[in-house]
Structure 1
Amino acid sequence: MIGKTISHYKIIEKIGGGGMGVIYKAEDTKLKRTVALKFLPHEFSDDPTAKKRFVQEAQSASSLDHPNICTLHEIDETDEGQLFIAMACYEGETLKHRIKKGPLEVNAAIDITLGVAKGLTKAHSTGIVHRDIKPANIFITSDEQVKILDFGLAKLAGTSRITKTESITGTVAYMSPEMVRAEDMDHRTDVWSLGVVLYEMLTGKLPFKGDNWEAIMYAISNTAPIPVTQLRNDVPASLERVIGKMLQKKSQDRYRDIQQMIADMRSIDHEEGSLLRIAAVKPSASIVVLPFIDMSPTKDQEYFCDGMAEELINSLTHIKNIRVVARTSAFSFKGKDIDVRDIGRTLNVDHVLEGSVRKSENRIRITAQLVNVTDGYHLWSERYESQTKDVFTIQDEITMKIVDKLKVEILGDEEMSLQKRETSNIEAYNARLKGRFFLQKLSKTDTEKAIKYYRQAIELDPDYAVAYAAMAYCYLQFGIYYYFPAKQVFPKAKAAATKALEIDDTLALAHSAIAGVHYQYDWDFESARQRTERALELAPNCSSSRGNYAGYFAVTGKMDRAIAEQKRVLELDPISFTQNVHLGLYYLRARQPEEARQQLLKTLEFSPEHPWALWLIASTYAHDLQYDKGITLLHDAVNAAKDFTPLIAALGWFYAMSGNKKGAEEIISNLSKKAKKSYVRPFLFAKIRAALGQHDKAFQWLEKAYEERDCSLSWLLTDESVDCIRDDPRFDELLKKIGLYKFTRSARQ
């Protein structure tokens, strides 16, 4: 063959061959380019039915214009009637040859898998299934581009009478259970085969083996592979779960489409070994500080009583060896007549601090008692009577008594934190307590009241760093809860937190606030991580800083780490509705719908029929394509939350995904009317347009979201509502602009 000219191709050299034919490098004499010619075995050309089917398949495959699919130029036959394919010729090697050199690095295996997955996404979107994904059909170019070879040949092979043991055995090892049983197949057979390839890349071994093809087929249908993590210890558990889902025996238990698998692959925490670990010191003692009871004659000191408890909580969070239950869980028992031993057991703590405040004019009486949960005995109790201005000294004394009675050793920097006095102005202190009281209520009106009181505190004491940091959180809340455009509030949050740090750079609350601005508005994710880690160094047991840390991992796609950190948050704040919902959200974003559903149903025990929980439970049903169930839940959520635009948009997204185009368009119209009166995030329009298949309009809205610094874009890497447009090149371009692209595994594809 060397030197011959067939049609307008001059054969240069043989470059490969196998059961499906021989490949030559050739010169296209018409277009003056180098091509690869694959000559198919004569038995294919001799079977008219098989030949016709192959030509039809190859014609369809030739229309697949995608950077991860080998380009087919032409189908022709020699004068003797032998079929051949002219295709692009690349420099590089097949994945089969690369694997022969040994298992691949985890990152390299992920990169290659994503390249194949992207090509398959394109093929599946046009109804084409490869049916023969294996290392020999995956080519890695000299510049590390992944190319899928041989679209169309698998169906031809299935109609032929090839009996070469080597080629059959080599192909059978990658066949899905439905293929070996000769059952109907769809695109999920490619998901299985790619799972086998990924397993082999990581281990150098096949998951299903046997001495002959019958034994291999039996193993595919009946045995479970050895877990990848038992064969090498640097494979993340999240990657092993992806492989496990790809290799489910029943096709309906695998990923429903390649896009879902790509999302999971992108969220793998493959670099977690390089990330700074905040020391997980196991505290030697644990405590919950309950809200102090208002014993004042006029019962108007609730803010002061709550503030007293919160000040003690905040002080104790600086001590590594004490696990302090966070405010939300501690305050859930407010006003309830429950035995402190039952409270302690519910929160899994050893000690409970309870107390009361009686305040009248400028006099104050505070009582406090520390109770051992095991037997209910008081370890310590004290009553303080003094002028209101002495409240700071009383707080310090109570804190040190707790440390002493719990027999906890404190370090030098921890003692300095406990002794630090934020302000000596009692009026400023009172104003800040009132601000915090309203901030905890979360509503727009209450947050505005909180800002008023924080400003009042700052006017009374211009160096009150905590008041600046708390005001930063007010502005963050305005942005996060959809009340105002990001550009209107996040810069104010940053300015307030920056001022706080100028006054006191050891203030954990201020570092945590700036971290929130960095990842939700600046899209400076590395700075967000550094700030959060600094906050945790300063206050190791602060649940809000730990929650921010979990959030950082979630937005950057490291869902295993996000879930682990959020579970640590729940050790500090076990019955917080918000923190429990976040764990459910992270399971959802990790594409673990069943785990998410169970967590969210548990969350409803704290707050039955809460709209946010119902919304996320509905989203778990979307993963299973049970859109009707999701729509029913969202109707309840929308009715409960009235005009909360994210829920309305979620309903529109469900309508679109379920095929109810009219319903989705009505939701868009509704949101457009609301946008004339109040702020509606552009991202909400984008995700409905994407679900409707209106990708150009979706990207127009996403561009608007980018221009407005819509903080929804921070979650773009893992948000399941935009999975349908992830394969569009414009999506990666948007990720690059936001700064999230570097956290994907597709950077080199």
Structure 2
Amino acid sequence: MIGQTISHYHILEKLGEGGMGIVYKAEDLKLKRTVALKFLPADLTRDEEAKTRFVHEAQAASALQHPNICTIHDIDETVDHQLFIVMDWYDGQTLKEKIAGGPLKTEEATSDTIQIAQGLQQAHEKGIVHRDIKPANIIITNDGVAKILDFGLAKLAGGAKLTRTGSTVGTAAYMSPEQARGLDVDLRTDIWSLGVVLFEMLTGKLPFRGEHEAAMLYSIVHEEPQPISSLLSDVPPDIKLSITNMLQKEPGERFQHMRELLSQLGAIKKKDEAESEKPLPSIAVLPFVNMSADPENEYFSDGLSEEIISALSKLESLHVTARTSAFRFRGKELDIREIGKQLNVSTVLEGSVRRAGNKLRVTAQLINVADGYHLWSERYDRELEDLFAIQDEISLAIVDKLKVRLLGADKARLAKRYTENFEVYDLYLKGRYELSRLTEEGIKRSLDYFQQAIQKDPNFALAYVGMASVYNVHAIVGQFSSNETMPRAKSELLKALKLDESLAEAHAWLGEVHLQYEWDWSSAEREFKRAIELKPNSPEAHQFYADYLIVTGSMEQASIEIARARDLDPLSTIPNTILAYQLYVLRQFDQVIEHCRKMLKTEPSFLLQLHLWRALRQQNRLSEALAECKKLFTLFISREVAEAMKCVDDESGYKGAVRAAAKKLVDLSTQRYISPYLIATLFAHAEDDNKTLQWLEKAHEERDMVLYSIGVDPDLDRVRSSPRFTALLKKIGLEQ
């Protein structure tokens, strides 16, 4: 049927199939809109009861006009007398598909239930009982709107019966007891079914169990539902009460009208919204002081601090300052109140570590920023092997003292261990410490430590992420080309995720590989979103996603992600470079210059220096642009390039200087890796369009990790209309 035109509807694709209908996506050729067509299966066209029920569905649903009920436009039949209903098509997924991705958060499940209940309330007011409420019959649009589908089994007040006395209609798992017994039903059967749906949204499981339909029906009629608290430890009492009421065996003991349920759920939602308006508890974990006799043990004290940060960062209901900002206070004798002010947190955790042989002493203090009061403190005298337990105890103590609400599997995530082998973990901490130094020797040593950890425990997922981080750093600092580093990084990340799918860092970096190397836009977005879901306090995940949103033109959402990253890592330059990049892409060059100069006063940054130079050139402030360009090459790339720029005659000016820089980089590229995209940028500034395109094509050939940004880069506006540029865009999956 796909590709056929029936009446004035051109059928595009099949959406789904059930016992009472086959649904297709189609184009309405008259009104130029997308619709869904539901056909009565061919084998039922001679079944008068089936035909009557099909027409009945169209009549029932078309009588209802509500934002949470699918809109019916028409009913018609083909030349061979096959009936079909024309209805709205919605871009989204069924609630069944949504639940398959994992249990919903309480707030989301409550919101969806309220919308479904609102649609059902209107149906009930019109004397219509749905009788087949289940996740497969509910669409959640991409805008978050719930739409009730399939009124094929609906019961109309005063209408003729379409089922024989004593027969059952509906889907077994969602039937009410009276429905399962073949008794007459009223609106309270929909209340029961919605209770089952809400239970399933929250837990991912059904309240009644049975290996086959008869066993399921027996359980519904005779057994009590599974206690929701046995599946969900933190279910709010009000939600638990609502579900208990909805799943009462006797209809008279349930909510009697949908408006009663809506009143209860509305009160719960208001309470949740009031709670969400309160500021989240917040904490900065300062680097623990190394009190050991050996200063080389600093990697160990740093590692303990980082692991606590990492564990706490998984909690959505706690604001955790990133390592980059928290570690700025290493060795500084500052008042806690000043630290709290700079990091915008209400509490600070500080501590010390003394390691002697196999003995370990750890002290930790949780301090209230407002008054310096110690909310909690503890000293641990343990064996080295007890480090994991110490980390868990400190994290759980913080959660307890700050009254952080743990949701779903939060407690398990908080205390998760990736290896039980302390020697392996120690090697991993050494690798992380060496990598954080960002020296050539440190990067080499970190790779060696991660490899040793994997040799001793091949199932230690974090070590594979560490390996991938090394390859990514090689690419970022320009030591090697993307072709040399990105496939290796991807291989390590996939190994890590095969061992543990819940590693947010692995998802975030895999997203970068998809974006910067493979130009796989949809996969990149999926990985960034998954990383944020797993670790809401990860500034890297928010930064990476913001970068993706900028190059794909979603500026409003990008601003939200940048703000979140800056909030989590207030003293880091990295989220500020993303902000500068966004402003540059938006052509707000004055703001770029102001922002970059302000940030560069605190510390040097390659990307901030790069954006400053380019923004000045865009404003035709060429002498300033030239000075900043020379500074960029002197500080971060090659003094030889800066010297080559100085040797150019004053008469050739800015264009001559950047052309000289480009030519010098071309010479250097025969000796070591130089980004073709950087060379293309310099030729663009020299207004040499042919060379610009030549080096952009070279960047594509080498899969330069900056090429993904060509669609929005103002430096390339001169060549944007060139067919060669258009061809490049298509090659990386972009259009003009």
TM-score range, shorter chain: 0.5 to 0.7
Instruction: Quote how far apart the aligned CAs of 1:612 are.
Output: 3.9
Q: Which position in structure 1 is the counterpart of 2:445?
A: 449
Match of 1:718 in 2: 712
Alignment match, 2:357: 361
> In the aligned structure 2, how far is the partner of 1:331 from the partner of 1:484?
29
Name the CA distance, whole Å, in 2 between partners of 1:663 and 1:396.
Answer: 58
> Shift of residue 541 of structure 1?
1.1
CA contact (8 A) 1:281 1:320 kept: no
Report how far residue 468 of structure 1 moved.
0.6
Given candidates 615, 619, 625, the residue that maps to 2:614 is 619
Match of 2:685 among 684, 691, 711: 691
1:350 maps to a residue whose letter is S
Alpha-carbon distance, 1:691 to partner: 3.3
Query: Is the alpha carbon distance of 1:569 and 1:584 closer, same or farther for their aligned partners in structure 2, counting shifts above 3 Å?
Result: same
Please give the root-mean-square deviation of Cα atoms over the aligned residues, in Å.
Answer: 2.8
User: Where do 1:333-352 residues align within 5 Å?
Assistant: 333-352=329-348
Match of 2:429 in 1: 433
Matched, 1:700 2:700: no
Higher relative contact order (CA 8 A, sep 6+): 1
Contact 1:691 1:722 in 2 (8 A): no
Going from structure 1 to structure 2, the CA distance change for 1:625 and 1:276 (only over 3 Å counts) comes to farther
| Structure 1: gaps of 5 or more residues | 1-272
Letter in 2 for 1:621: L
Return the match for 2:633 from 634, 638, 647. Answer: 638
CA distance in 1, matches of 2:643, 2:542: 30
CA distance in 2, matches of 1:740, 1:522: 13
Secondary structure, counterpart of 2:706 in structure 1:
helix
Query: Does the residue aligned with 1:367 lie in a helix, a strand or coil?
Result: strand
Name the counterpart of 2:722: 728
Is 1:471 the counterpart of 2:467 in the alignment? Answer: yes
Q: Which residue of 1 aligns with 2:258?
A: none
Q: Which amino acid aligns with 2:634?
A: N
Residue 126 (structure 1) aligns with? none
Q: 504, 507, 514: which is aligned to 1:511?
A: 507
Counterpart CA distance in 2 for 1:592 and 1:651 is 28
Matched, 1:737 2:702: no
Correspondence for 1:386: 382
Q: Give CA-to-partner distance per residue, 1:444-475, whole Å, 9 cap, x none.
A: 43222211111111111110101111211211
Does the Cα contact within 8 Å between 2:428 and 2:453 map onto a contact in 1? yes
Structure-2 separation of matches of 1:655 and 1:611: 27
Provide the residue aligned with 2:370 in structure 1.
374
Tell me the equivalent position of 1:152.
Answer: none
Q: Aligned partners of 1:380 and 1:441: how far apart in 2?
A: 32
Partner of 1:521: 517
Q: 1:275 to 1:362 in 2, by over 3 A?
A: farther
**Contact 1:600–1:617 under 8 Å retained in 2:** yes
Q: Deviations over 1:299-331 (max 9, x none)?
A: 221111111110000000111110000000000
Instruction: Tell me the equivalent position of 1:551.
Output: 547
SS at match of 2:295: coil
The answer for the alignment partner of 2:582 in structure 1 is 586
Q: 1:285 to 1:675 in 2, by over 3 A?
A: same
Cα offset for 1:390? 0.5
Pairing 1:629–2:627 present? no
Residues 496 and 730 (structure 1 numbering): CA distance in 2 closer, same or farther, change over 3 Å?
A: same
1:568 to 1:657, Cα distance in 2 relative to 1, 3 A: farther
The aligned counterpart of 2:259 is: none
The residue that corresponds to 1:570 in the other structure is 566
Q: Tell me, what secondary structure is at the counterpart of 2:382?
A: strand
Deviation at 1:657, TM superposition (A): 14
Paired amino acid for 1:709: R
* 339-348 vs 592-601, which moves further: 592-601
Alignment match, 1:325: 321
Quick check: 1:674 aligned with 2:668? yes
Cα 1:394–1:566 shift into 2, 3 Å = same
Q: Distance in 2 between matches of 1:600 and 1:669?
A: 27
Q: Residues 596, 377 of structure 1: CA spacing in aligned structure 2 closer, same or farther, 3 A cutoff? A: same
Equivalent position of 1:421 in the other structure: 417
Work out the CA distance in 2 between the residues paired with 1:387 and 1:528.
Answer: 43
Q: Is the Cα–Cα contact under 8 Å of residues 366 and 383 in structure 1 kept in the other structure?
A: yes
Report Cα offsets for 1:182-216 as digits up to 9, x if no partner: xxxxxxxxxxxxxxxxxxxxxxxxxxxxxxxxxxx
What displacement does 1:648 show? 6.1
Alignment of 1:72-151 (within 5 A): none
Secondary structure in 2 matching 1:364: strand
Deviation at 1:404, TM superposition (A): 0.1
CA separation in 2, counterparts of 1:276 and 1:312? Answer: 35
Select which of 277, 284, 299 maps to 2:280.
284
In 2, Cα distance between the equivalents of 1:508 and 1:592?
A: 33
In structure 2, the residue matched to 1:134 is: none
CA contact (8 A) 1:691 1:724 kept: no
The alpha carbon displacement at 1:503 in A equals 0.3
Q: Is the 8 A contact 2:622 2:654 kept in 1?
A: no
**Is the contact made by 2:361 and 2:380 (CA closer than 8 Å) also made in structure 1?**
yes
Instruction: Please state if 1:490 is matched with 2:483.
Output: no
Kept in 2, the 8 Å contact 1:612–1:637? The answer is no
Structure 1 CA distance, aligned partners of 2:644 and 2:516? 21
> What is the number of equivalent residue pairs in this alignment?
466
Aligned residue runs from structure 1 range 603-618, under 5 A: 603-607=599-603, 609-618=604-613
Q: Which amino acid aligns with 1:513?
A: W
What code does the residue aligned with 1:631 have?
L
Which region of structure 1 is more displaced relative to structure 2, 669-678 or 379-388?
669-678
Contact 1:476 1:516 in 2 (8 A): no
Moved more, 689-698 or 674-683: 689-698
In the alignment, is the contact (CA less than 8 A) between 1:326 and 1:543 conserved in 2? yes
Distance 1:660 1:507 in 2: 48
Q: Cα distance, 1:561 vs. partner?
A: 2.7
Q: What is the deviation of 1:529?
A: 0.5
Alpha-carbon distance in 2 for matches of 1:354, 1:341: 13
Distance 2:365 2:693 in 1: 59
- SS of 2:672's equivalent? coil
* CA–CA separation in structure 2 for the residues paired with 1:704 and 1:726: 17
479 and 275 in structure 1: CA distance in 2 versus 1, 3 angstrom threshold: farther
Name the TM-score, length of structure 1 as normaliser.
0.59
Structure 1 residues 313, 450: closer, same or farther in 2, change over 3 A?
same
> 2:294: which partner in 1?
298
**Partner amino acid, structure 1, of 2:527:** R
CA pair 684-305 structure 1, distance change in 2 beyond 3 A: same
User: How far apart are residue 650 of structure 1 and its match?
Assistant: 13
Query: What's the CA shift for 1:521?
Result: 0.3
Structure 2 portions without partners, runs of 5+: 1-140, 146-272
Query: Distance in 2 between the 1:555 and 1:650 partners?
Result: 33
Which whole-Å CA distance do the structure 2 matches of 1:359 and 1:567 have between them?
Answer: 39
- State the percentage of identical aligned residues: 39
